[in-house]
Amino acid sequence: MTGEVFHHALKFRTEVCIGCSHCMNVCPTRAIRIQGGKAMLIGDRCVDCGKCYNVCPVGAIIVEQDDFRRIFDYKYRVALIPNVLLGQFPEIVSISQICSVLMGMGFTHIFEVEHGTRLLKDAMGKIVGEKDRKRPLISSFCPAIVRLIQVRFPMFADNIILLKTPLDVSAAYYKKKLLDQGAAPEQIGVFYITPCAAKIAAIKSPVGEEGSSITGVINMDFIYNKIYTSVKQGHKAEKSCSLPAMERLGAGEMLWTLTEGESQQMPGRALAIDEISNVIEFLEMMENEEVTDIDFLELRACDQSCAGGILTSGNRFFTVERLRKRAQLVESGADEMLYQNRGESIADLAGYLRAQLSVDRVKPRSMDKLDEDMGKALTKMRRVQEIMNSLPHVDCGICGSPTCNALAEDIVQGEADIRQCIYVQKKMEQQGELPCAESMEIMKAIWGEKKFE
């Protein structure tokens, strides 16, 4: 990673937030607190999974994107599209229509990121097949999972396969292709249409790389609405706006971004687990050494993997169904309506791309580390246990922290007071140690004045 601070695509609008605590209660890494009646993000804990975004009832959490007008700063404007974008649309909307609208919006080139899996499949399979590797090897495909391992399961950081994602491979390919055709570096803008916030964060502050080949990121829901509106208004595909002169995607490549897309193509015993709560449960089993004899893990933060990304507009199950049907057409050879094969292939630059497939080691960044000094950390850990003995272990969240343990850690770090616990408050009131007026002021500091008017 290039810096000490994670970049986050999720942004909290305090002027809109009503302090309902829905986001705090669903956050898998306990990265949210309530202070002054507003949700506050602890950046070192957040993995940009987007669960908070999904449950916010008032739109106080947004996902940033680059200004679309940035594409016009470049002569060559490449749209990197994932297959799940195509799967958002019903079958009556053709790929040619989608690409035609994209080019009408201003893009000069369109490229499916799953082409990058062609080289990765072999490279990953070779690594998984090496007997001396630490098991299980974990895919680096999902950036939310990579960050989750960094902050919550740092002991598994060395299990992550240190290879670029299909997106990065495809970006590197298309940039090199345009450079070889005579384009100047400053003329090339590569823009990714993303189904999730975690990929934005990974592009802005990549793990294991100095920088990204991607110029900017555009939210998929924005692009989907533009395309679908145009199609409903009667847009027809122009012949000049079909997919670029590219080799067809194989069926396995088309399904790579879905659940089991990677695991089914890996040697040995391979498992696929999606939805971040399921992933956390499984990694906790690994921590407790309850899991053995697994060679490869495909872990994805979203339900149904990228089809369930928070920036997708279509139903994730319909998206999966559509993509599987298209993959079946490819397998049967009845895919002439999907792609035009003109012979060009990412394999033409295989040597160049293989030389830069690897990334640096993923560094652990444990969110549970109470202090950099080991002695001080142990002292704080004992203090957390002492405080926990005074707390009710009900995880009600009324204190403004998601769990009793989180409150205890916040107290030890000087960021909270034990009197924030409603049970401790009532006990102190009964014993005459805390006036009711002071107790009310503590609650107002957490939940805001308005809730007590």
First to last CA, the chain: 47
**Token match 């295989």: residue?**
350
Q: Give 210 or 436, the one with higher predicted confidence.
A: 436
51 Cα distance to chain centroid: 10
Q: From 404, 407, 403, 302, select the one nearest 47 (Cα to Cα).
A: 302
Lowest-confidence region among 75-89, 134-148, 239-253, 350-364: 239-253
Q: How many CB atoms lie within 10 A of CB 117?
A: 27
Residue 256, helix vs strand vs coil: coil
Instruction: Assess contact for 49 and 276: CB atoms under 8 A.
Output: yes
Residue 334 in this model has a pLDDT that exceeds 70: no
**Kind and range of the H or E element at 229?**
helix 220-232
pLDDT of residue 234: 75
At 365, the pLDDT band (50, 70, 90 cuts) reads confident
38-41/32-35 β-pairing: antiparallel
At 95, the pLDDT band (50, 70, 90 cuts) reads confident
- The CATH class of 374-452 is mainly alpha
Cis peptide before 136 (omega within 30 of 0): yes
CA distance 45 to 401: 14
pLDDT of residue 446: 95
Residue 258 in this model has a pLDDT that exceeds 90: yes
Residue 404 in this model has a pLDDT that exceeds 70: yes
Lowest-confidence region among 27-36, 182-191, 362-371: 362-371
The CA distances from residue 363 to 48, 75, 93, 146, in Å, are 18, 37, 44, 10
The mean per-residue pLDDT over the stretch 415-423 comes to 95
Instruction: Assess contact for 142 and 299: CB atoms under 8 A.
Output: yes
CA distance 374 to 383: 14
Residue 242 in this model has a pLDDT that exceeds 70: no
pLDDT of residue 176: 95
Domain ranges of the chain: 10-63, 68-354, 374-452
pLDDT of residue 244: 54
pLDDT of residue 240: 46
Instruction: Assess contact for 316 and 158: CB atoms under 8 A.
Output: no
Residue 370 in this model has a pLDDT that exceeds 60: yes
Instruction: Assess contact for 21 and 34: CB atoms under 8 A.
Output: yes
**Tokens at residue 362, please?**
């993923």
**Residue percentage of the chain with pLDDT more than 70:** 94
**pLDDT tens per residue, range 282-305:** 999 999 999 888 999 999 999 999
Q: How many CB atoms lie within 10 A of CB 45?
A: 20
Residue 224 in this model has a pLDDT that exceeds 70: yes
CA distance 193 to 77: 13
Mean confidence (pLDDT) of the chain: 90
Residue 204 in this model has a pLDDT that exceeds 80: yes
Lowest-confidence region among 270-279, 366-375, 444-453: 366-375
pLDDT of residue 35: 95
Contacts of 414 (CB under 8 A, 6+ apart): none
Instruction: Assess contact for 61 and 54: CB atoms under 8 A.
Output: no
**Tokens at residue 152, please?**
């919550």
**pLDDT tens per residue, range 106-126:** 999 999 999 999 999 999 999
- The CATH class of 10-63 is alpha beta
CA distance 34 to 252: 45
Contacts of 156 (CB under 8 A, 6+ apart): 138, 149, 283, 286
